[in-house]
Amino acid sequence: DEAKEEVVEVVDFLKDPEKFTKLGGELPKGVLLVGQPGTGKTLMAKAVAGEAGVPFFSLSGSDFVEMFVGVGASRVRDLFKKAKEEAPCIIFIDEIDAIGRSRGRNSMVGGNDERENTLNQLLSEMDGFDSDKGVIIMAATNRPDVLDQALLRPGRFDRQIMIDKPDRREREMIFGVHVQDILIADDVNLEMLAGQTPGFAGAEIANVCNEAALLAARKDKEAIGMDDFEQSIDRVIGGLEKKNKIISPEEREIIAYHESGHAIVGWFFEHTDPVVKVSIVPRGMAALGYSQSMPEERYLYSRQALLDRMAMMLGGRVAEEIVFGEVTTGAQNDLQRITKMAYAMVTDYGMSERVGNVSFNLSSNGEDGGGDEQPMFEKPYSDDTARAIDEEVKAIVDEVRDRARELLEEKRDLLDAMAETLLEEEVIGPETLVDLLGERPHGGEYVALRDGQSNGHATGEHGESGEPQQGVDAEGEPAAPPEQHEGDGAPGSAPAEGTALRSRGEKSDDDE
């Protein structure tokens, strides 16, 4: 909504320029749309042109780059010449980072001079006309940090509009748009679907709706049901279900206890997201099982919240220790995630009394993220501080491990019961979770999900919902997302709400 309000000014200017010019105001010459892939940057620009009823010249940044010297600059000149003839109009350059990267980088790479010539011509053209002529330049990028500062100065792309991934309410509205073109059953709950797709961009929601339609068509159904949407979400996130994957009974039991450990810790700790589904059905390239949660739309996390989430991630490994007396390689991904989070707590967020209220999270590309400057030294702290950081990280991991172990030993009967149920049914839904574990002590949205489903537990394809890729950006952020939806709990990201057991020797796309 905020992005829409920003671009409405552009529409108003193109429709009624005198409204602004009579007061002496000038609309920005350039509008830069910034956002992750699939968030609707190009669609937003087309909507502006359509609403204003003016010609729309759309090109990609790569269209200007050729192997022949001078071609890119010539195309820029031709584009602006035609735009001035058709004014009022909109010029839209998608993926402008293809030609707008900071000059001076990789100067030895072939073709760099041609790209710089193209950029120089673009800068010259933007200086050569006034916005009151009715030509508005819009551009889109998902890498604003690499753009040349000359592009972003006042008088060029001086207005930046951030198009974020949709929140829960906006996802529900996007689902509402896409289901208008398909036949859906009465049991489809758009609010519930929005809750199960955190971190999804508009393009991914469109893909979910299309996959649901294809799944329903394969089953010769008259309409697309809620189960089809849930299976399509799981497929988009986790990949194809692999029920025919050969897993020994011993490993299957380990997987069941591992996922039960995650779920139980997530169920009883206050600051974890409500668990709504647990499965031991293999999916994708490496996931042997997973726990799915219903994450909240959050931007800030306290120290205790991070510790609770880390304890949930370690719940599977601790369950293996308690039941089998040893651990397996299945927790590799969990260990990577909690290690990143622990280091972020100490070195980025100042959550360690011993190290203090400091942050060492320096950009590798200089403070502004767009220049060629490199840090003067690799790490801005002494060897003694580095040793203290390592010791604090180990202390944090040991603390959350002990908390998870204490809880699982106390709930050993529930751990056994849940593992047995998983071995029998393979997938446990929200109603069965309540039957096994009781009402969640700290509440959660599992109640709405449970009441909205006719089945107590699922037996089809069910996958892990994504994590909200929101929060303070920091080094180590996978940038989403999802980007991945399984979430690796990287420093600066909203910690992952789901956990997946990995097969030996394999890595998922979000493993580093």
Q: Look up 321 and say whether it is catalytic.
A: no
Q: Strand, helix or coil at 33? A: strand
What tokens appear for 509 in the block?
């796309």
Q: Are 234 and 283 in contact (CB under 8 A)?
A: yes
In 16-111, alpha helices (H)? 18-21, 41-52, 71-85, 97-100
Active-site choice (114, 116, 211, 259):
259
Residue carrying the six token digits 């009465």: 186
The rounded distance, in Å, linking the Cα atoms of 2 and 112 is 37
Q: Which of 30, 4, 153, 14 is nearest to 91 (CA)?
A: 30
- Sign of the C-alpha dihedral computed for residues 118, 123, 129 and 130 taken in this order: positive
Q: Strand, helix or coil at 429? A: coil
The rounded distance, in Å, linking the Cα atoms of 259 and 465 is 15
Q: Are 421 and 441 in contact (CB under 8 A)?
A: no
What tokens appear for 285 in the block?
């390239």
The rounded distance, in Å, linking the Cα atoms of 121 and 124 is 5
Question: How many other C-beta atoms can be found within 10 angstroms of the C-beta atom of residue 181?
Answer: 10
Burial level of 357, CB count in 10 A (0-12/13-18/19+)?
Answer: exposed
The rounded distance, in Å, linking the Cα atoms of 183 and 339 is 46
The rounded distance, in Å, linking the Cα atoms of 294 and 267 is 12
Q: Are 151 and 157 in contact (CB under 8 A)?
A: yes
In 110-162, alpha helices (H)? 112-127, 149-152
Burial level of 495, CB count in 10 A (0-12/13-18/19+)?
Answer: buried
The rounded distance, in Å, linking the Cα atoms of 298 and 293 is 14
What tokens appear for 502 in the block?
């990995």
Beta bridge partners of 241: 283
What tokens appear for 95 in the block?
């993926």
Q: Strand, helix or coil at 110? A: coil
Instruction: Return the exposure string of 63-83: e unless at least 16 CB atoms fall within 10 Å of the residue's CB, then b.
Output: bbbeeeeeebbebbeebbeeb
Question: How many other C-beta atoms can be found within 10 angstroms of the C-beta atom of residue 2?
Answer: 9
The CA-CA-CA angle for residues 306, 309, 312, to 5°, reads 150
Residue carrying the six token digits 């600059």: 73
The rounded distance, in Å, linking the Cα atoms of 497 and 465 is 8
Catalytic residue annotation: 259
